[in-house]
Chain A
Amino acid sequence: DQQVKQNSPSLSVQEGRISILNCDYTNSMFDYFLWYKKYPAEGPTFLISISSIKDKNEDGRFTVFLNKSAKHLSLHIVPSQPGDSAVYFCAASASTGANNLFFGTGTRLTVIP
């Protein structure tokens, strides 16, 4: 059973506008959340993370929001750039236990020039 879900397989956004990628999780033991970006024929690269003690973390154009009560997180990219076109994976881990990452199925973002 998928513990981390990304229900939108794809998203298209105009250059300069905001991209919002969503992620839901089911395991209440998850306390650390990460976003990865993946280009074709490359491995995923770490983008931004957030601990469950926070509800927002910002790094340049990227902001991650966490809503623990809804078991939902989102990644905002502002402004979106054509180079942001990639597949984005949401991932989560629980610090109690093996601390492994569980990944969502990914959202393909296309930023249109």
Chain B
Amino acid sequence: NAGVTQTPKFQVLKTGQSMTLQCAQDMNHNSMYWYRQDPGMGLRLIYYSASEGTTDKGEVPNGYNVSRLNKREFSLRLESAAPSQTSVYFCASSSSMRYGYTFGSGTRLTVV
């Protein structure tokens, strides 16, 4: 019963490097989301995908791109990492707001 799986769990990047955060869910959920969590800021939505084949910007999309590869997978890409992108990133999926989102365990990213 995996739920939402994120990889990697930890990553250190140098400024200007690129990387992709992977997310996969096995609950057959239509909607998937990427959030970042920063101290004192709560969780802020970066991008979301309401269904396979669609993606939309959230509150803080600058510096990120996403791909909804299929119904299971939703990846987040940093093309040129900046220190301001140091954060904990959470992927989530949902089928109905009644049951909320199911979150992955997070990726802790440090950009130096």
Number of A-B residue pairs with CB-CB distance less than 8 Å in the complex they form: 63
Q: Is the CB of A105 within 8 A of B42?
A: yes
Q: Is the CB of B48 within 8 A of A95?
A: no
A32-B97 in contact given A42-B105, A43-B103 (Cβ < 8 Å): yes
Interface segment out of the listed A13-21, A44-52, A62-70: A44-52
Q: Is the CB of A43 within 8 A of B106?
A: yes
- CB-nearest residue of chain B relative to A93? B97
CA distance A103 to B4 in the complex (A): 19
- Which chain B positions have C-beta within 8 A of A2? 42
Q: Which residues of A contact B (CB under 8 A)?
A: 2, 4, 6, 9, 32, 34, 36, 41-46, 49, 89, 91, 93, 95, 98-106
A98-B56 in contact given A36-B100, A49-B100 (Cβ < 8 Å): yes
Q: Is the CB of B90 within 8 A of A44?
A: yes
A49-B48 in contact given A43-B4, A100-B58 (Cβ < 8 Å): no
A41-B98 in contact given A100-B45, A100-B58 (Cβ < 8 Å): no
